[in-house]
């Protein structure tokens, strides 16, 4: 049974639909003044213990990475195998700088939530201390969208974005299944779920790619909100899981030094510098080995 869309998700959908409709044109006219509504009184929340413990990392912390091409490191250079894994992926970079033991990076380019369940859970066991997960984008067909957008196929690009948005409502149940399965397979691990960085910095209405850029960013925002909501739902159940967003502000497509590949089969995937930003965010959250 599908769940109703989150209000913030609907806002992102609306932004994308607007961008697709105007296709490079700015909207004209003012915004009607909203009528204030009285705020209902809500009871103060009951303090609860944080299910995500702030435990120090050590050199013996057993770390396993799961997910799709963003966890595999596609686009960073020096990729190998059908999964396009790179030594410059964020799991490899984080493990090196934090000083933890990366037991395995089981991530694979093109992996969906279903692929993760079928092929990657075997990497987990009750000795696993830390898990990172990057998954969800391929359930929406983002690989094909990236290919069309990078090739300048504007119509196919925007149609792909519209199709991806229509699939967002099926993603919460899939993510719930995946996150629950990871928690069961690694009962003693903290689990960190990463979001996807926004692709574009320049969404100026005068830009020729305004419609495409705004639509892709709005779709990414919707995807990240869906992922975060699913993580929050698990955390509310007591699962030691948290979400970490990654900000490429100043380094998106259209900037002087983008942290994303802008062409070819790696288009819309982070560069090695982009993956280092993912690793830095993980280090901010988890620290380094003691």
Tens of pLDDT, residue by residue, the chain (290 residues):
555 555 555 444 444 444 444 343 333 334 444 444 455 555 555 545 789 988 899 999 999 999 999 999 999 999 999 999 999 999 999 999 999 999 999 999 999 999 999 999 999 999 999 999 999 989 987 666 666 666 666 676 776 676 667 678 889 999 999 999 999 999 999 999 999 998 887 655 555 566 677 777 878 888 999 999 999 999 999 999 999 999 998 998 888 899 999 888 888 899 999 999 999 999 999 999 87
Mind listing the pLDDT tens digit for each residue in 212-255? 777 778 788 889 999 999 999 999 999 999 999 999 989 988 88
The pLDDT of residue 204 is: 58
The pLDDT of residue 168 is: 82
What is the side-by-side order of every strand in the sheet holding 130-134? Answer: 101-105, 62-67, 130-134, 190-194, 241-244
Show the tokens assigned to 225: 């909100």
The pLDDT of residue 290 is: 72
d(CA 177, CA 180) in angstroms, rounded, equals 5
Please identify every residue annotated as catalytic: 69, 269
The pLDDT of residue 85 is: 97
The sign one gets for the Cα dihedral 265, 267, 269, 274 is positive
Is residue 121 a contact partner of residue 111, using CB atoms and an 8 Å limit? no
Rounded to 5 degrees, φ, ψ at 104 are -165, 145
- In three-state form (DSSP H/G/I as H, E/B as E, the rest C), the secondary structure along 253-271 is ECCCCCCECCCCCCCCCEC
Domains of the chain: 58-140+171-201+224-286 (3.40.50.1110)
Mind listing the pLDDT tens digit for each residue in 6-47? 555 544 444 444 444 434 333 333 444 444 445 555 555 554
Is residue 218 a contact partner of residue 12, using CB atoms and an 8 Å limit? yes
């Amino acid at each position: 049974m599908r769940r109703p869309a989150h209000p913030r998700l609907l806002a992102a959908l609306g932004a994308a639909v607007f961008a697709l409709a105007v296709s490079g044109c700015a909207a004209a006219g003012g915004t009607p003044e909203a009528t204030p509504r009285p705020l209902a009184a809500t009871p103060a929340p009951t303090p609860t213990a944080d299910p995500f413990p702030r435990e120090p990392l050590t050199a013996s912390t057993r770390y396993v990475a799961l997910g799709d091409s963003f966890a595999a490191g596609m686009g960073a250079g020096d990729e190998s195998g059908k999964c396009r894994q790179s030594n410059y992926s964020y799991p490899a970079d984080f493990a090196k700088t934090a000083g933890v033991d990366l037991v395995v990076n089981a991530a694979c380019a093109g992996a969906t939530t279903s692929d993760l369940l079928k092929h990657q859970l075997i990497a987990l066991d009750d000795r696993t201390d830390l898990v990172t997960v990057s998954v969800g984008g391929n359930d929406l067909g983002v690989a094909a969208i990236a290919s069309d957008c990078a090739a300048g196929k504007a119509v196919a690009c925007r149609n792909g974005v519209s199709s991806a948005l229509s699939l967002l409502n099926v993603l919460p149940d899939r993510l719930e299944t995946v996150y629950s399965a990871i928690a069961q397979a690694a009962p003693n691990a903290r689990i960190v779920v990463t979001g996807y960085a926004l692709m574009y910095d320049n969404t100026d209405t005068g830009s020729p790619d305004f419609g495409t850029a705004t639509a892709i960013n709005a779709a990414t925002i919707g995807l990240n909100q869906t992922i975060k909501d699913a993580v929050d739902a698990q955390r509310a159940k007591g699962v030691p899981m948290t979400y970490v967003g990654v900000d490429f502000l100043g380094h998106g497509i259209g900037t002087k030094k983008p942290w994303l590949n802008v062409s070819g089969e790696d288009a819309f995937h982070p560069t090695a510098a982009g993956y280092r930003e993912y690793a830095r965010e993980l280090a901010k959250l988890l620290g380094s080995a003691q």
